[in-house]
Amino acid sequence: MRVLVTGNMGYIGPLVVEQLRETRPDAELAGLDTGFFANCLTGTTLLPERRLDCQYFGDVRAVPPAALDGTDGVVHLAGVSNDPIGTTFEAATLDVNHVATVSLARAAKAAGARSFVFASSCSVYGLAEDGLRTEASGTGPLTAYAKSKLLAERDLAELADESFSITSLRFATACGMSDRLRLDLVLNDFVAGAHAFREITILSDGTPWRPLIHVRDMARAIDWALDRPAANGGAFLALNTGSDEWNYQIRELADTVASVVPGVEVSVREDAPPDARSYKVSFARFRELAPDDQPQVSLREAIEDLSEGLGRMGFSDPDFRNSTLVRLRVLNDLRGSGLVTDELEWAGAAETVRG
């Protein structure tokens, strides 16, 4: 089997590659990434791409045909990965997350692939506090990022058939340690705050709901989806991916971190404006379709694992919200130094500038 993982050099990618390498030791694994965060390694001694058979450096808007040659399955992670980047680079977000995703799936199908797994997001539901959202609920994307994921799903649905299954995993918000850790994710931010200044600052009033999932559990779900036959859920399947127990209120997350990391205070902004990013999601269909591939990591384990990882990194930066552990900051820096354009493409200069 040959699998192409796009966006493998980000936060989730290294865990996905590790998982696939373990469950499919004989598979040929290739990666394709433009490398925006290639040097944002965190606490690892092994370059994660060493687990691959082949690494392509390229843009998903212009996939080299060789990358898809003989490919059986594609895991598509590459893209603009959160709301703040989507707001700053709106046109590129729609172009990469929507248009390029659909072209890639079309090219993969033409090259003979049998499955395509797309990393979508529960944020497609928008504000959803009044009951659990299922895949049959209406959507209400509030940001360019969420809209781009939903538009991609709409067009991917047209491409799926009996011999080409497409699974759009609507992931809960990720958390956990990675070889390329991000701290612009809520639980990771709280654990970092707990370590950097013994305080967790909640930027809302603490009441918003947010489903979470550990990166290792995301990788397991992706592994399952790669082998999903069309008969299990349909040729195209949009699936909430997480677990009902991991629908948390922000305040509860902070309190749990404070109970695991000693000597930490939680501060809440009582006067904060309501946070529209509040949603509760049902993961019943995922349980029904993938009973053997359900999330396994506990919240406590996730916090301990992050604490350990931050320790390995020698992490203590109180200004981490403005550091290279935040994806938007890295992209703004690259743009500021002329290496990346407003369209999130490498500028010509990138080829000649030496680090």
Ligand X SMILES: NC(=O)c1ccc[n+]([C@@H]2O[C@H](COP(=O)([O-])OP(=O)(O)OC[C@H]3O[C@@H](n4cnc5c(N)ncnc54)[C@H](O)[C@@H]3O)[C@@H](O)[C@H]2O)c1
Binding site for ligand X (CB under 6 A): 7, 9-13, 33-37, 59-61, 77-79, 81, 96, 119, 121, 171, 173-174, 182, 185, 327
Q: Which residues contact 223 (CB under 8 A, 6 or more apart)?
A: 16, 19, 20, 23, 293
Nearer to ligand X, 33 or 317 (CB): 33
CB of 265 to ligand X, least distance (A): 26
HEC letters along the chain: CEEEEECCCCCCHHHHHHHHHHHCCCCEEEEEECCCCCCCCCCCCCCHHHHCCEEEECCHHHCCHHHCCCCCEEEECCCCCCHHHHHHCHHHHHHHHHHHHHHHHHHHHHCCCCEEEEEEEHHHHCCEEEEEECCCCCCCCCCHHHHHHHHHHHHHHHHCECCEEEEEEEECEEECCCCCCCCCCHHHHHHHHHHHHCEEEECCCCCCEEEEEEHHHHHHHHHHHHCCCCCCCCCEEEEEECCHHHEEEHHHHHHHHHHHCCCCEEEECCCCCCCCCCEEECCHHHHHHCCCCCCCCCHHHHHHHHHHHHHHCCCCCCCHHHCCCCHHHHHHHHHHCCCECCCCCECHHHHCCCC
CB of 77 to ligand X, least distance (A): 4
Nearer to ligand X, 182 or 230 (CB): 182
CB of 311 to ligand X, least distance (A): 21
Nearer to ligand X, 96 or 281 (CB): 96
Nearer to ligand X, 199 or 345 (CB): 345
CB of 14 to ligand X, least distance (A): 9
CB of 292 to ligand X, least distance (A): 22
Nearer to ligand X, 171 or 236 (CB): 171
Nearer to ligand X, 36 or 315 (CB): 36
CB of 263 to ligand X, least distance (A): 28
CB of 348 to ligand X, least distance (A): 17
Closest CB to ligand X: residue number: 10
Nearer to ligand X, 142 or 197 (CB): 142
